[in-house]
Amino acid sequence: MATTLANWNGQEMPLEEVKVSVLDRAFLFGDAVYEVIRLYGGKLWMYDRHVGRLKTGLKALRIGGVNIDVLKTRIEQTVENSGIAEALVYIQVTRGVAKRTHHYPEKIEPNQLIYVEHFGDPCKQMRETGVRVISYHDYRWQRNDLKVTSLMANCMAAQVAHENGCIEVVQIGSDGYVTEGSHTSIFAVKDGKILVSPSSSKVLPGITKQQILELSAAANIGLNETRVKKDELKDVDEMFLTGTPEEIVPIIKVDDLVIGDGKPGPVTRKLQQAFTDSVQSWLKK
């Protein structure tokens, strides 16, 4: 097995050799932000958008001392030195190491982790056939717009999906409306128009989600950022999920409810092709 290359505060080493203090606040509190960037053909896909969201998280959590230009240089060097063309690039910034207190300690240095891991695209077949998902109550906190590492509620949901032979859940808020998956954005299609929950404090502004908004506009596919109730899913024609690793995966069944005719629909297929075309066009630049 090839060694996964990491960069820990500017020093490159095998990932398994990275050592983190037990007093790092990411270990104690999940006090950190992260991003996962797809590497296509050795190039960082949607880098500026991912880093923009990372900066938003750093500001909201008041984690200072991060030079984004230096971080970018480290990311690019680690990608180049890894020698991997198809990969996921994981980036995490923690508040740093300090005596355990619930309030933010002052004058500590953030820890920065980067690693580049080969990606074999496990969702490739799923994008062709579609997948079944299950519904699950959304137990998460009220700042889901921030991509932070305190993800226990997401992990609990993902575990339920795993135990039921699914790759994802459709999370349902206390008001009965669909929010998103445990690690993906959830879309529906009705009468040829795409429906998706608007990004808010309860719904992450997904990078692939934003691209779907742009691709649909370019393809003259109607789109409405609106909330959909769970009991309205019986009336939709198509569903799909999106994420950086997943790209666009059709959903053909939610619990025991068959979506549409139980096959990936034409709008989903059109978006999948538009997504592939956009990546290929970008790689040629």
Instruction: Give yes or no for a contact between 190 and 203, defined as CB atoms under 8 angstroms apart.
Output: no
Residue showing tokens 């795993």: 162
Pairwise CA distance, residues 88 & 121, whole Å? 10
| Residue 121 CB partners (closer than 8 Å, separation 6+) | 86, 245
Q: Which of 134, 192, 144 is nearest to 166 (CA)?
A: 134
Can you tell me which residue has the tokens 């956009």? 278
Give the whole-angstrom CA distance, residue 223 versus residue 242.
15
**What's the rounded Cα separation, in Å, for the pair 282 and 278?**
6
Catalytic residue among 43, 99, 124, 147: 147
Write phi, then psi, for 29 (nearest 5 degrees). Answer: -130, -5
Q: Identify whether 124 is a catalytic site residue.
A: no
Active site residues: 147
